[in-house]
Structure 1
Amino acid sequence: MKPKLKLNKNFVTLITAQAISSLGDWLSIVAIITLVGLKWEATPMQMSLIILSLAMPMAVFGPVSGAIADRLDRKKLMIISDVVRGILILLLTLASSVWMVYIILFATGIFSSVFVPAKNGKLKELVKDENIKGAMSLTSIIDSSTKVLGPLISGILVSSFGTYNVFYIDSATFFLSALLILLLPATAKEPLNNKQEGKQASSLRSDLQEGFTFIRQSSYLMYGLFLLGISLLILQLSDSQIIILLRELTNVSPDLFGYAVTSSGLGMLITGIVLSKKTDYNAYLYMCLGVLGIGAGFGGMAALTYLDLALSIVWVPALGLVVGIAAGLVFIPFQSAVQEKTPVHLTGRVFGVINSTTTTATIIGPLAGGTLATVIGIIPSFLITSSLLIFLFFISLIFRNKVEQEDEHVTESQPGTQGAASRQIN
């Protein structure tokens, strides 16, 4: 962690709460997928619905939740979200059918849709503009680290104490996260003039429109969001079906899925560490390369599964590592750029729009992926995913110069945006 960020005690508290909550998330997600996918032998469509149950609330309520996060105290919203999610996770211990899991995950997703924009807005409050890229890389490192540790710890706990004990631990992490967030300062409010009072009294509809309008002003944000959304849509065609693909192998270990998730998290961790030290990178180019890497990783996984290659315990995690590194190149640069370009008073609305767009992709993707795998088979569906991502890479390179040049023009014609944001938090 950079010295300036180390000295920011509120930022350290925020990312500590994030780390604890994220670790619990991965504990329960892996346990649920293992329970439903392996023990209950779920169909491809049922696996898609697991992802859908968590994703749909973010897509449907994302923009509204973002606007709410800009209107209300973000600290209180995060605490409420953590406490309610902790209670909901406890209810998973009572689940006896896949439909009960769907309902509980859907309710959890509703409160997650509030937490995410509130957390991003709070980070913008606590960190100065010149440290945003480093802060975003550190939050990505935390997410990736918990993705690595979560499946490993979950596997040990499930095998030692049973699946449902993992849910108790996950619930406790949400409550602990809420206690840490209590230590954060409330949102500082400045005296409002008449113009600002009128704006604050505006309708929720106009708040939502303002988030869309801000994104449309930047060619980079518009095409970057398009690239991210389409990449996620194509990725989710196969990502939700990995455990189905692994069942095609002759000798598949029950722990192989956990290893794949762990290695992909390690890949994102590596990317986050590298980008936290190198903050002057070309974000758009990195996103393009990330799309290519994800496509290559999935294509290789499908090909080796078709060949039923031995030592899957080696090559599956290796390809997961490649996909994780590539995914980090797509997600981290874009989120850092959004934080840099967005004023603090708009972060909830902008991230609400972004989360809604990307989560819509994660809804359509698993459903289409489940259907595609059922109709043409799991291996062909992975090959289609790989081909589409590689094609998207070449299309993105064609538009690279146009997007970057137009974005530079917009930035030069709108000076002071970040300065205005800084004044609001000082």
Structure 2
Amino acid sequence: MFAVLKNITYRHLFLAQVIALVGTGLITIALAFLAYDLAKGQAAQVLGIALAIKMLAYIGVAPIASAFAERLPRKKVLVSLDIIRALITLCLPFVTQIWQIYILIFILQSASAAFTPTFQAMIPDVLPAEKEYTNALSLSRLAYDLENIISPMLAGFLLSYMSYHNLFLGTVIGFIGSALFVVSAKLPTAKVAEFQGVYSRIKKGAKIYFNTPRLKALLLLNLAIASASAVVIVNTVVLVQSTFRLTEHATTWALGLFGLGSMLSAFILPRVLDQFNDRSVMLSGAVILVVGLFCGYLIPSYYWLLALWFILGIGYSVSQTPTGRLIRKSASSENRTSLFAAQFAFSHACWLVTYPLVGWLSTHFGTLFTFIPMAMIALGAMVFAYFIWPEQDDLVLFHTHDDLPVGHEHLVQHYHNGRHEHEFMIDDYHHKWPK
């Protein structure tokens, strides 16, 4: 897996991602403590709303930003967005009102919404070989897990010597470090499709997404993933500090166990994906999430919570890590940024629903009760995904083109063994999936 780090460009991008995500992990933890400090009994609801605003920024900004970002120099775009995120984070320690959290989070996450799809879409151009790209996805999953394991550990250490307000400074350092590594990377130039306007750009990504069976199933799996992760992110601080009457350090340990489970599964996933297809792996991860959520209603103590969070971390990683492989298989290079932006927006639309829902359920019906409705949502999403995603998901498909004249360049180019077949993707020549 680590062999891909020999690629200097990818190594610099990976380090930029790691540093920024550790900082992001610190801000998530600090935000949870800030919400608990300002709202006490309403902390879960406040944090749920803040995270929903984050998702709203992602959904509204990501497709529009990616439409413009891919027309601009990648390096300047990424560095500028890192600087914006650092400046906004500097304001958070001075927040005294809940509404101030909401405004700053929207601005901060709008910058992240522009950064992430642009960053993700570069990786297939840096590592075009499928095996290398698969390893890069697992490393990327590990980087995201650093937000859940290294950040809580670092936060626990820092909280022994300082107020949680100072954790925001760690986030600023992370964003600045990310910008420096992006500056040092030699980024590839992508093949850019003709600019057709923001609305057309968004429409193209959505069209590919909703006309590709594996991606429609992915959207449902995103909902299952969001149902489980929202319970972890929103309710951990309430479960640990209100239900079990423990300290901030216990909260960071719980979040760390979730990240540890996710990280360990990401280590072995490249070998698993060599033996099993994406469908089997991702659906298996969803099963782990569903079973874990149902078990959550019965947790009797903090130590059982730690074990459950570890298991949910495994399911989270197994069901989510192969996502980039599906996007890569489903779009050509010129459409990939659009499709990554669509996945980014649609997956975060799921969190937009689950974050405030978990906060509302926890506040009005009790934290433990929240596990049951979220488990039911995850179960329904998983079952529908199973039936929508065909077991035989071949890349090369036989199909016809009644809309093209005989002798058309596309027909001639992909004529093999007496019929027209090639690696099928929704694009200008292919508007519907063949039956």
Q: TM-score range by the shorter chain?
A: 0.7 to 0.9
Aligned to 1:193: none
- Say yes or no: does 1:157 pair with 2:162: no
**How much does 1:238 deviate?**
6.8
Aligned to 1:415: 422
Alignment CA distance shift 1:256-1:38 (3 Å): farther
- Say yes or no: does 1:267 pair with 2:261: yes
Deviations 1:273-327 (CA, angstroms, capped at 9, x unpaired) = 01133332321122222222112223323212xxxx34x1x22211110000001
Contact 1:289-1:329 at 8 Å conserved across structures: yes
Aligned to 1:349: 338
For 1:60 and 1:412, the matched residues in 2 are separated by: 37
Contact 1:238-1:369 at 8 Å conserved across structures: no
For 2:189 and 2:229, the matched residues in 1 are separated by: 40
| Paired amino acid for 1:24 | G
Contact 1:70-1:346 at 8 Å conserved across structures: no
| Paired amino acid for 1:389 | A
Deviations 1:236-262 (CA, angstroms, capped at 9, x unpaired) = 367523333345535433323212211
**How much does 1:189 deviate?**
6.2
**How much does 1:170 deviate?**
1.3
TM-score by length of 1: 0.86
Contact 1:289-1:393 at 8 Å conserved across structures: no
Aligned to 1:48: 48
Aligned to 1:337: 326
Alignment CA distance shift 1:257-1:298 (3 Å): farther
Deviations 1:122-175 (CA, angstroms, capped at 9, x unpaired) = 212211132211111111112213421101111221231222222122101111
Aligned to 2:11: 12
Partner of residue 297 from structure 1, selected from 281, 292, 301: 292
**How much does 1:331 deviate?**
0.7
Partner of residue 360 from structure 1, selected from 341, 349, 364: 349
Contact 1:75-1:122 at 8 Å conserved across structures: no
Partner of residue 282 from structure 2, selected from 276, 287, 302: 287
Contact 1:141-1:272 at 8 Å conserved across structures: yes
SS at match of 2:348: helix
TM-score by length of 2: 0.85
**How much does 1:411 deviate?**
4.7
For 2:221 and 2:329, the matched residues in 1 are separated by: 19
Alignment CA distance shift 1:409-1:167 (3 Å): closer
For 2:120 and 2:353, the matched residues in 1 are separated by: 25
Alignment CA distance shift 1:69-1:277 (3 Å): farther
For 1:409 and 1:116, the matched residues in 2 are separated by: 27
| Paired amino acid for 1:404 | E
Partner of residue 390 from structure 2, selected from 403, 408, 426: 403
SS at match of 1:61: helix
| Paired amino acid for 1:108 | L
Contact 1:264-1:322 at 8 Å conserved across structures: yes
Aligned to 2:373: 384
Aligned to 2:184: 183
Alignment CA distance shift 1:138-1:361 (3 Å): same
Alignment CA distance shift 1:84-1:409 (3 Å): closer
Alignment CA distance shift 1:189-1:245 (3 Å): closer
For 1:177 and 1:251, the matched residues in 2 are separated by: 37
**How much does 1:224 deviate?**
1.7
Contact 1:284-1:333 at 8 Å conserved across structures: no
For 1:334 and 1:228, the matched residues in 2 are separated by: 9
Deviations 1:313-354 (CA, angstroms, capped at 9, x unpaired) = x22211110000001111112222213433222222101111
For 1:234 and 1:142, the matched residues in 2 are separated by: 20
Contact 1:291-1:392 at 8 Å conserved across structures: no
For 2:398 and 2:120, the matched residues in 1 are separated by: 25
Structure 2 gaps, min length 5: 400-420, 428-435
- Say yes or no: does 1:371 pair with 2:360: yes
Aligned to 1:31: 30
Alignment CA distance shift 1:129-1:120 (3 Å): same
For 1:35 and 1:159, the matched residues in 2 are separated by: 17
Deviations 1:5-44 (CA, angstroms, capped at 9, x unpaired) = 1321100010011011111111121112123225651513
For 2:239 and 2:77, the matched residues in 1 are separated by: 39
Alignment CA distance shift 1:203-1:13 (3 Å): same
**How much does 1:409 deviate?**
6.6
For 2:397 and 2:180, the matched residues in 1 are separated by: 40
Aligned to 1:64: 64
User: In proportion to residue count, which structure has more helix?
Assistant: 1
SS at match of 1:303: coil
**How much does 1:358 deviate?**
1.2
For 1:254 and 1:206, the matched residues in 2 are separated by: 47
**How much does 1:111 deviate?**
0.4
- Say yes or no: does 1:202 pair with 2:196: yes
Alignment CA distance shift 1:125-1:86 (3 Å): same
Alignment CA distance shift 1:253-1:52 (3 Å): same
For 2:219 and 2:384, the matched residues in 1 are separated by: 15
Moved more, 241-250 or 55-64: 241-250
SS at match of 2:248: coil
Contact 1:48-1:366 at 8 Å conserved across structures: yes
Contact 2:92-2:101 at 8 Å conserved across structures: yes
Contact 1:233-1:365 at 8 Å conserved across structures: yes
| Paired amino acid for 2:47 | M
For 2:164 and 2:92, the matched residues in 1 are separated by: 10
Aligned to 1:106: 106
Alignment CA distance shift 1:82-1:37 (3 Å): same
Structure 1 gaps, min length 5: 191-195, 421-426
Query: How large is the RMSD of aligned CA atoms in angstroms?
Result: 2.5
Aligned to 1:95: 95
For 1:120 and 1:213, the matched residues in 2 are separated by: 20
**How much does 1:235 deviate?**
5.2
Contact 2:83-2:175 at 8 Å conserved across structures: yes
Contact 2:88-2:104 at 8 Å conserved across structures: yes
SS at match of 1:23: helix
Moved more, 319-328 or 355-364: 355-364
Partner of residue 252 from structure 1, selected from 219, 241, 246: 246
Alignment CA distance shift 1:96-1:111 (3 Å): same
Identity between Structure 1 and Structure 2 (%): 19
Alignment CA distance shift 1:340-1:73 (3 Å): farther
